[in-house]
């Protein structure tokens, strides 16, 4: 059998007696060093995951993140107003566009990231589903860093002031979502006096039971349009309106079948 096709262990055993002591020492050091680096990398990964798990489930992190995200949104608003040179009504329109877009971003992240392929984000969200009333949040500065990244990308095609106001709208929408989500799990009685918010709470409770429906927390628009809306037994005053819009959307985007 040619030497190149032999078992690597046999090759090493056949060559080992011919090596000089210095060469043997170098090979031993190389093997031991490789194994040591591998073990250190594995241990570092475990330490990192353990640290993130503790941070995600820390009540201090939960409250600090809520406060820092409000501060971060206000920072974008201040910078946007400072750099923006157009009409006030245009600035307000940009903020509204950002705020309305936050519902779609909320849906996409919740459905395809937090309930998507295995990841650190899905791991943290699974803890929330296991303990819905626990104070579990994203690690500090994650949302702020993501907002800065979005602002940087928008700044490639938009003026800096417009991009900052658009990100402020997105950030304000995220803070609205965070407030609604907190109230749903910790202050449900406060939502009882507002019919719309009470209904959002019941829909989110259904999501926790099924996990494949009702991904929207602060709005049901995208669940209705994308087919993941699951109504409760409570009468829905706006269901007919949005179901009509979804039917029209499906007719416009779905191709007719070959038999039609």
pLDDT at 236: 44
Residue 258 lies in a domain: no
Domain total in the chain? 1
Residue 50 lies in a domain: no
* Angle at the Cα of 210 from the Cα atoms of 173 and 120, rounded to 5 degrees: 60
Residue 98 contacts residue 165 (beta carbons within 8 Å): yes
Residue 8 lies in a domain: no
pLDDT at 6: 54
pLDDT at 144: 94
Distances from the Cα of 2 to the Cα of 5, 6, 12, angstroms: 6, 7, 15
Residue 176 lies in a domain: yes
pLDDT at 148: 96
pLDDT at 238: 47
Residue 34 lies in a domain: no
Mean pLDDT, contiguous 10-residue spans, the chain (260 residues): 53 56 60 61 56 76 94 97 94 97 96 92 90 89 94 96 98 97 88 85 92 94 92 55 63 59
pTM of whole model > 0.85?
Answer: no
Residue 32 lies in a domain: no
pLDDT at 237: 45
Residue 29 lies in a domain: no
Which residue range forms the structural domain that includes residue 118?
58-249
Residue 14 lies in a domain: no
What's the per-residue H, E or C state across the chain? CCHHHCCHHHHHHHHHHHCCHHHHHHHHHHHHHHHHHHHHHHHHHHHHHHHHHHHHCCHHHHHHHHHHHHHHHHHHHHHHHHHCCCCHHHHHHHHHHHHHHHHHHHHHHHHHHHCCCCCHHHHHHHHHHHCCCCCCCCCCCHHHHHHHHHHHHHCCCCCHHHHHHHHHHHHHHHHHHHHHHHHHHHCHHHHCCCHHHHHHHHHHHHHHHHCCCCCCCCCCHHHHHHCCCCCCCCCCCCHHHHHHHHHHHHHHHCCCCCCC
């Amino acid at each position: 059998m040619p030497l190149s096709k032999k078992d690597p262990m046999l090759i090493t055993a056949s060559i080992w007696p011919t090596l000089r002591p210095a060469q043997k020492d170098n090979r031993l050091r190389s093997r031991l060093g490789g194994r040591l680096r591998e073990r250190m990398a594995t241990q570092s990964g475990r330490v990192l995951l353990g640290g993130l798990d503790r941070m995600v489930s820390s009540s201090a992190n939960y409250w600090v993140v809520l406060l820092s995200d409000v501060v971060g949104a206000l920072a974008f608003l201040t910078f946007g107003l400072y750099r923006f040179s157009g009409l006030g009504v245009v600035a307000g329109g940009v903020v509204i566009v950002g705020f309305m877009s936050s519902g779609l971003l909320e849906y996409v992240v919740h459905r395809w990231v937090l309930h998507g392929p295995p990841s650190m984000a899905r791991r943290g969200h699974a803890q929330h589903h296991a303990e819905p009333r626990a104070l579990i949040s994203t690690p500090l500065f994650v949302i702020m860093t993501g907002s800065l990244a979005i602002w940087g990308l928008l700044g490639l095609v938009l003026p800096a002031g417009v991009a900052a106001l658009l990100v402020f709208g997105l950030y304000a929408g995220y803070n609205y979502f965070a407030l609604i989500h907190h109230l749903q799990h910790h202050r449900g009685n406060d939502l009882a006096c507002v019919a719309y918010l009470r209904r959002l709470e019941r829909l989110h409770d259904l999501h926790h039971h099924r996990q494949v429906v009702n991904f929207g927390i602060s709005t049901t628009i995208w669940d209705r349009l994308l087919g993941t809306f699951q109504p409760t037994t409570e009468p829905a005053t706006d269901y007919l309106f949005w179901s009509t819009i979804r039917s029209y959307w499906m007719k416009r985007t779905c191709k007719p079948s070959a038999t039609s």
